[in-house]
Amino acid sequence: MRERPPSIDGLAPSTLQLPQGPWPTVLECLCERFPAVTRAQWLERMARGRVVGSDGNPVTPETPYRVGLEVHYWREVPNETPIPFDEVVLHVDDDLLVADKPHFLPVTPTGVHVHETLLGRLIRRTGNHALAPLHRIDRETAGLVLFSTNPESRARYQALFRERRIEKHYEAIAPALAHVEFPCTRSSRVVPGEPFFRMQEIEGPANSETRIEVIARGDGCWRYALTPITGRKHQLRVHMAALGAPIANDPIYPSLIHRAAGDYSSPLQLLAKRLSFVDPLSGVERSFASKFLLRQPRIHPLPE
């Protein structure tokens, strides 16, 4: 098995296996497949060795096209804007790294965010190019993200999530639900909606489940504890909005709100607060808690 090219500045390469096509060179294929990247940009990347074949050798403008060839390239965004919030490393050992992610920072490269990601920052910070996230949280959500630091033990920790042997606890600020009896469970069928990045509930067998409790009540807004039993995309946000209490500052649910690039004034009030599990290597119970806090508009704790 050929080794994947290394990360550069904390960014792993993307891979394209060349399909059937009429292109005489790899360059012509890349220009047609990725119209958002100009020919001049591809030429510049090639000149810096940022496009390579499966053998690790540079792809040049003259490299002939060959169906099935694997081409690795490093994504770039000109003048990428720094995200002005810092992550915190809560724990690191030979197998795991636990990071506390701020709002607005994506976990992995997406869209206009390439180097300004939690993964990229942590690779640059630790020098560990084998670092890999074991799960994801939304860019808008703050809180805990667990990373594998060791490829040899990675599958054991990935199984925790696949087999639902890890407890994930979130906190959220949202409108009061005085008509609902708590704790309650929201179960529904969640599927992709429109636009493509939104999810929606539809009729049919449930494929998502969230346990919801009230931590504190305030004037208009309450603080909730959310425990996802399943792990559907945007599940917590969809469930709270469906109950009539969309999470404070949610720009997607129940309806889209356009915000200018670089507007950090209204962070989504959702926090991945705790992760608990039995370590598959040592058998020891482990628990981690985020140090970030949600904005709490006049919320009063419930009496014990």
- For residue 178, the domain's CATH number is 3.30.2350.10
Whole-number pLDDT of residue 110 = 76
Range of the domain at 271: 88-301
Residue 199, both tokens: 């999810």
Please check whether residues 142 and 177 belong to one and the same domain: yes
| pLDDT tens, N- to C-terminus, the chain (304 residues) | 456 677 777 777 889 999 999 999 999 999 999 998 899 999 999 999 999 998 889 999 999 999 999 999 988 777 788 999 999 999 999 999 999 999 999 998 877 777 899 999 999 999 998 999 999 999 999 999 999 999 999 999 999 999 999 999 999 999 999 999 999 999 999 999 999 899 999 999 999 999 999 999 988 899 999 999 999 999 999 999 999 999 999 999 999 998 888 899 999 999 999 999 999 999 999 999 999 999 765 444 444 4
Number of domains in the chain: 2
Please check whether residues 57 and 148 belong to one and the same domain: no
* End position of a domain, from candidates 28, 49, 73: 73
Whole-number pLDDT of residue 300 = 45
Whole-number pLDDT of residue 169 = 98
Are the C-beta atoms of 84 and 75 separated by less than 8 Å? Answer: no
Please check whether residues 180 and 203 belong to one and the same domain: yes
Is residue 29 a part of any domain in this protein? yes
Please check whether residues 170 and 63 belong to one and the same domain: no
Is residue 1 a part of any domain in this protein? no
Please check whether residues 165 and 290 belong to one and the same domain: yes
Please check whether residues 125 and 33 belong to one and the same domain: no
Is residue 4 a part of any domain in this protein? no
Whole-number pLDDT of residue 295 = 79
Provide the CATH number for the domain around residue 27.
Answer: 3.10.290.10
Please check whether residues 201 and 52 belong to one and the same domain: no
Please check whether residues 104 and 149 belong to one and the same domain: yes
Is residue 166 a part of any domain in this protein? yes
Please check whether residues 155 and 253 belong to one and the same domain: yes
Please check whether residues 42 and 149 belong to one and the same domain: no
* End position of a domain, from candidates 25, 45, 73: 73
Whole-number pLDDT of residue 11 = 77
Is residue 6 a part of any domain in this protein? no
Is residue 198 a part of any domain in this protein? yes
Residue 141, both tokens: 């959500």
Please check whether residues 153 and 108 belong to one and the same domain: yes
* End position of a domain, from candidates 45, 73, 101: 73
Please check whether residues 96 and 204 belong to one and the same domain: yes
Q: Please state whether the predicted TM-score (pTM) of the whole model is above 0.85.
A: no
Is residue 27 a part of any domain in this protein? yes
Mapping DSSP onto H, E and C, the string for the chain reads: CCCCCCCECCECCEEEECCCCCCCEHHHHHHHHCCCCCHHHHHHHHHCCCEEECCCCECCCCCECCCCCEEEECCCCCCCCCCCCCCEEEEECCCEEEEEECCCCCCCCECCECCCCHHHHHHHHHCCCCCEECCCCCCCCEEEEEEECCCCCHHHHHHHHHCCCEEEEEEEEEECCCCCCCCEEEEEEEEECCCCCCEEEECCCCCEEEEEEEEEEECCEEEEEEEECCCCCCHHHHHHHHCCCCCCCCCCCCCCCCCCCCCCCCCCCEEEEEEEEECCCCCCEEEEECCCCCCCCCEEECCC
Rg of the chain over Cα atoms, rounded to whole angstroms, equals 22
Whole-number pLDDT of residue 299 = 47
Is residue 45 a part of any domain in this protein? yes
